[in-house]
Amino acid sequence: MANDIVRKIEQAGVAGAGGAGFPTHVKAAACVDTVVANYAECEPLVASDSAVISADPERMLEGLALMRGAVGATRAIVALKRKRKEQVAVLEELSRKRGDFTLHLLDDVYPAGDEHLLVEEVTGRVVPQGGIPPEVSVLVSNVTTLWRVALSNEGRAFTERYVTVVGEVRKPRTLLVPIGTSANALIEACGGASVRPFVIVMGGPMMGEITEDADTPVRKTTTAVIVLPPDNPLVRRRRVRLSVSVRRAMAACMQCMDCTLMCPRYLMGHQLFPHKIMRSVALWIEGSEEELASAMLCSECGLCGHFVCPMELSPVLIFQAVKQELVAKGVRLTVKRAATAPLPERSGRRVPVERLTARFGLAGYAGPHPVPRSALEATVVKIPLREKWGRLRPCVSKGASVTRGTVVAEPEGPGPGAVAHASIDGQVTSITEEYLHVTS
Ligand code: SF4
Ligand code: SF4
């Protein structure tokens, strides 16, 4: 039975829909005593998980039950913010009816959905730094992912997801869209952009990818398409190039330590000291190998760079580059995976989402926004062939006829990966290094 659902999850190509994109069938093979459904939805403006809970809560809970069975867990907990009163009421009612899960209510802070923080908050267990939740017998899965797990059990591939379209669009809403639909198609479905020129954030404002390319497609991990004017304070801060960021850091990092003192992972007790990495990289002061490798502990939440640094420097951008280089060189984390304990000052240093929203000029865009019942119909989709875990190899040729749910690409390497499916009926019209195009 457990093997059966793991196989179905793999065949359906389910991957972490909250942003991580890790193949879910690999996670489902773990053996833990607790499953936490992550409905923290902590990035400002994003409401794609809320759409799942509004539209199809029973199916998400079915996915949670399936996951609990797969990993042999004895308890299941849905973690969500207490501010989501409507969804709390729906889930409380279902908890009474089903009796197979409980709720844990979270404060409205960022980044509440970080797995290390969430596990400690919900279970009191501390994941070792550099470790993963199964090391303390917990599996964390995002609620959209769990919804897809239930659908995989019905034989339905991961071909569509909810995406919040918000910001400078005329009719903001959260849409159910085929994977591979362009950001432009979503923006047009929401009445078009209300400013020109504009930039797009694919995902949440803190961690999403910023692009000017409206042809960028929705991925399995895309929670939102946020349209912003180029002079938005967050856009300005996030669009700084790495070389500029390093030069600015060399000129202006005053080693005040604010980035460290407010870092959620440092406050969890991890040996992550952003100001020291800045000192090593930007100020050309030689740091120990361990100091640089500690960048691997960074969750890339963006708080240090987008919110905290008084000099508007971008430690997170520099850490991303350091991490990429370390991975490319095959450098392993040398920081001991020791058990840690949250620092006592942590509770006073949490960042309310409201403050982030106000700081970045996003308050005027906040919802709730409608969730139409019918899915958006796309006539052309670009199925991504490059994911966070690695590359996919196309298994259909140009000109092939496909229907929604046809497997079109498989993981290339020996490592874990998730298959990709056609998300609409049509013909494969082109295959590039990056995408497989299907046109109806
Ligand atoms: S907060 Fe900014 S100025 Fe202060 S140490 Fe960190 S990077 Fe340097
Ligand atoms: S992005 Fe900055 S604040 Fe967030 S975990 Fe990394 S170092 Fe800490």
**Could you tell me the pLDDT band of residue 338, with boundaries at 50, 70 and 90?**
low
- Say which ligand is closest to the CA of 263: 2
Name residue, tokens 């999403």. 208
What average pLDDT does range 66-95 have in this prediction?
98
Share of the chain above pLDDT 90, in %: 79
Q: Which of ligand 2's atoms lies nearest the C-alpha of 303?
A: 3
Q: How far is CA 340 from CA 45, 222, 285, 420, in A?
A: 32, 32, 28, 38
How many whole angstroms from 97 Cα to the centroid of ligand 2? 40
For the beta carbon of residue 15, count every other beta carbon within 10 angstroms.
28
How many whole angstroms from 48 Cα to the centroid of ligand 2? 24
- Say which ligand is closest to the CA of 256: 1
Which letter does DSSP use for residue 364 in this model?
G
Residue 131, SS3?
coil
Euclidean distance between CA atoms 241 and 246, whole angstroms: 9
Euclidean distance between CA atoms 355 and 206, whole angstroms: 13
Euclidean distance between CA atoms 58 and 143, whole angstroms: 11
Domains along the sequence of the chain with CATH: 2-153 (3.40.50.11540), 159-232+361-376 (3.10.20.600), 241-350 (no CATH), 379-440 (2.40.50)
Q: How far is CA 299 from CA 111, 169, 217, 260, 408, in A?
A: 10, 30, 24, 13, 32
Strands, sheet with 386-387, edge to edge from the N-terminal-most edge strand: 386-387, 390-394, 407-411, 420-421
Euclidean distance between CA atoms 427 and 291, whole angstroms: 51
Q: What is the pLDDT of residues 126-168, one digit of tens each?
A: 999 989 999 999 999 999 999 999 999 999 999 999 999 999 9
Residue 3 has pLDDT above 90, yes or no: no
253 Cβ below 6 A of ligand 1: yes
298 Cβ below 6 A of ligand 2: yes
**Could you tell me the pLDDT band of residue 172, with boundaries at 50, 70 and 90?**
very high
303 Cβ below 6 A of ligand 1: no
258 Cβ below 6 A of ligand 2: no
Residue 330 has pLDDT above 80, yes or no: no
Euclidean distance between CA atoms 18 and 166, whole angstroms: 18
**Could you tell me the pLDDT band of residue 282, with boundaries at 50, 70 and 90?**
low
**Runs of H (alpha helix) within 125-206:** 143-153, 183-189
Identify the bridge partners of residue 217 per DSSP, sorted by sequence position: 182
For the beta carbon of residue 284, count every other beta carbon within 10 angstroms.
8
What average pLDDT does range 300-317 have in this prediction?
92
| Cβ-contact 218, 163 below 8 angstroms | yes
CA 335 remoteness from chain centre: 25
> One-letter amino acid identity for 345?
E
Written as six digits, the tokens of 170 are: 């005329």
All residues at 6 or more sequence positions from 74 whose CB lies less than 8 Å from its CB, including other chains: 33, 34
Mean pLDDT of all residues belonging to the chain? 93
* pLDDT score recorded for residue 318: 85
Residue 285 has pLDDT above 80, yes or no: no
* pLDDT score recorded for residue 291: 72
Identify the bridge partners of residue 79 per DSSP, sorted by sequence position: 38, 104
**Could you tell me the pLDDT band of residue 321, with boundaries at 50, 70 and 90?**
confident
Q: What is the pLDDT of residues 291-308, one digit of tens each?
A: 777 888 999 999 999 999
113 Cβ below 6 A of ligand 2: no
| Cβ-contact 147, 137 below 8 angstroms | no
Residue 334 has pLDDT above 60, yes or no: no
Euclidean distance between CA atoms 205 and 209, whole angstroms: 8
What average pLDDT does range 178-199 have in this prediction?
97
**Runs of H (alpha helix) within 13-161:** 24-27, 48-55, 57-71, 85-98, 115-123, 143-153
Element (H, E) at 391: strand 390-394
Q: Which of ligand 1's atoms lies nearest the C-alpha of 256?
A: 4
- Say which ligand is closest to the CA of 349: 2
How many whole angstroms from 311 Cα to the centroid of ligand 1? 7
Written as six digits, the tokens of 142 are: 């995002």
Euclidean distance between CA atoms 166 and 175, whole angstroms: 11
Name residue, tokens 């797995």. 115
CA 285 remoteness from chain centre: 34
**Could you tell me the pLDDT band of residue 245, with boundaries at 50, 70 and 90?**
confident
Give exposure, 79-93, as e/b (b: 16+ Cβ within 10 Å): bbbeebeebbeebee
Closest CA to 277 of 268, 265, 189: 265
| Cβ-contact 429, 410 below 8 angstroms | no
